[in-house]
Structure 1
Amino acid sequence: MKKFLVHSLTPPRTENKSARRMKQATLVVALLLPATAAWAQRFPDANELLANVRLHQSQQEIDLHGQLRQEARVVPFHLVQNGPVVRYIFSNPDETLQLRIGANDSRLDEIKRSGSEKITQLNEPVRGTAITYEDLALKFLYWPNARVIGADFIRTRNCWKMQLRPPTGDSQYGSILLWVDKDNGALMRMEGYDSAGKMIKR
C-alpha cells in the first residue's frame, strides 16, 4: 500500500503597511547604531585632552605686547612666558601678575617689592575690563567635568570641540566651550556662557 506524505499548507501571512514600516524603521535604527557607537569611540578622553592642553600651554616661550579692550577702554600689557611661568606686566600704575601653570592646578600671584601675594578674588575684573583674574589664571583647564562633544575647523585647523563645566558655583561661568587643535593641543577658541546659557565672553 502506497503511503502518501501529506503536507499541511499554511496560508501566507499578510502584514499591514504599519507593521512593514515598523520593521523598516527598526532595521534602519539597527544599522545606524553600530556606526554611531563607532563615531563616539573616536573621541579622545576629555581629561587626557585637557592634560595635553595644559602641557602645551606650559611649554611655550612668548614675548609680546597686547591689549585688553572693554568698549572704548584700552589697557596695554606686556606678556612674557618662559615655560610654565607667565608674566602679565601692566603700567600706569605698575602691576605684575605671575601665572604658574602646573600639572594639577594653576596659581596667579601679584608680584610686589615685598614678595608675591596669591590672588584669591578671581572673579574680579582686570583693570576695569571684561577679563577677570580667573581668565588669566586659566582655571577652566583644570575643571574635572569636561567632555568632548564634536569636531570642527577653526581657521583651517582641525579641532576637538569640548564643553567644560565648573565643579562649584564660584566661577563666573556656567559652562565653557573650547576648540583644541587635534595635532598640537593648542587652544584655538574659547566661548564662555553664564548659568542661563547666554554667551558672555569670546
Structure 2
Amino acid sequence: MTKRLRFLALSTLVITATTCLTPSARADEAADRILEGVRLSATLQQSNLTGHLRKNGARSQIALFLRGENIQFQYFDGKQWQKFHMRLKKDQFDLFELKNGKTLKFPDSKLSQAVMGTDLTYEDLAFRFLYWPNAKIEGEETIKTQKCHKIRLVNPGRGGSYGIVYIWVHQKYGALMQVAGYNRAGQLLKRFHVTNTMKVGDVQTLEKMNVETYKLGTEKVIGITYMEFDKPKAVKKGLR
C-alpha cells in the first residue's frame, strides 16, 4: 500500500470513529450541563434554602446552602443545629461534620444512616448523587404531564446505599422532578417525588418533595417523609 493510500485509509478510519463517538460525547456533555442546572436549582446558589422534614406528624428543621464547590446542610436536633459540609472537586466529594468548632471527616459508613428517624439519609440530604461524574442521558419521559430528561448516574465509589440513581429533570425549567435510587443489586430503595416547585429569581427550585422508602424487591412503600422549603432570601454569608 502506498503512503497516500495508507493516509487515506487512516483518515477514513479516524473520520468514521469520530462520527460514531460524537453523538455519545455530545449526549454526555448535555447530561453534564443539565446536572449543572439541577445542582443550582436544588440548592439555590448564593441563597439559603430553609424548611423542614415531616414524618408521622414530627417535624425537623433543615437548611441547605451552596457556594460554588462548597455545600453546607444542617438540621435542628434538640437544642442545636447539626452542621455538615461537602467539599466538591473534579470527580471527588468529601463530606465533613462541623462539631465543637472542628471539621471532622464524615465516615462513608454513616452516609446511609437516617436523619432524625426520617426516610432521608445524610447522602440524600446532601443531594450527593447529583455530583457523581459521567452522567448519561437515557431518554425522555413525561412526569405529571411535564416532559423530562431521564439521566442515569452511577456511584463511582463504595460509599452510601445507592449503586445507580435515575433522575428526571424538567426540560423547560431544568428543575429536579423525580429521583429513583437503586442498590448495587438493582433493587429499588427510594423514590423522590417533587410535588411543588417555586420560582426564586430566574431559577425554578424545590418547594415540596416526598421521599418514599420501598421494601426490597417490591413496589411496596414502607415509609414516607415530606421535605418542604420556604421561599428563600438572598444572603451574603453562609450558614451559621
What's the TM-score, normalizing by structure 2? Answer: 0.55
Q: Cα distance, 1:148 vs. partner? A: 0.8
Worse-matched range after superposition: 136-145 or 74-83: 74-83
Q: What one-letter code is carried by the residue in structure 2 that aligns with 1:118?
A: K
Q: Cα distance, 1:44 vs. partner? A: 6.2
How big is each residue's C-alpha offset from its partner over 1:74-121, in whole Å with a ceiling of 9 and x where there is no partner? 341132536554432313153322344746354443333323323223
Residue 32 of structure 2: aligned partner: 47
SS at match of 2:152: strand
How big is each residue's C-alpha offset from its partner over 1:25-54, in whole Å with a ceiling of 9 and x where there is no partner? xxxxxxxxxxxxxx9999563233323333
Q: Cα distance, 1:157 vs. partner? A: 3.4
Matches within 5 A, 1:100-179: 100=86, 102=88, 104=90, 105-120=92-107, 121-179=110-168
Residue 51 of structure 2: aligned partner: 65
Separation in structure 1 between the aligned mates of residue 24 and residue 103 of structure 2, nearest angstrom: 46
SS at match of 2:62: strand
**Aligned partner of 2:61 among 68, 72, 77:** 77
Separation in structure 1 between the aligned mates of residue 27 and residue 139 of structure 2, nearest angstrom: 8
Residue 192 of structure 1: aligned partner: 181
| Unaligned segments of structure 2, at least 5 residues | 1-22, 192-240
Q: CA RMSD in A?
A: 3.2
**Aligned partner of 1:90 among 63, 76, 79:** 76
Separation in structure 2 between the aligned mates of residue 198 and residue 159 of structure 1, nearest angstrom: 23
Tell me which of the two structures has the higher relative contact order, counting C-alpha pairs closer than 8 angstroms and 6 or more residues apart.
Answer: 2
What's the TM-score, normalizing by structure 1? Answer: 0.63
Give the 3 Å change call, closer, same or farther, for CA 170–107 of structure 1 in structure 2.
closer
> How many residues are matched?
162
Please identify the structure whose Cα radius of gyration is greater: 1
Give the 3 Å change call, closer, same or farther, for CA 50–139 of structure 1 in structure 2.
same
Q: Cα distance, 1:62 vs. partner? A: 4.0
Q: What one-letter code is carried by the residue in structure 2 that aligns with 1:114?
A: G
Give the 3 Å change call, closer, same or farther, for CA 183–42 of structure 1 in structure 2.
farther
Q: Is the 8 A contact 2:151 2:167 kept in 1?
A: yes
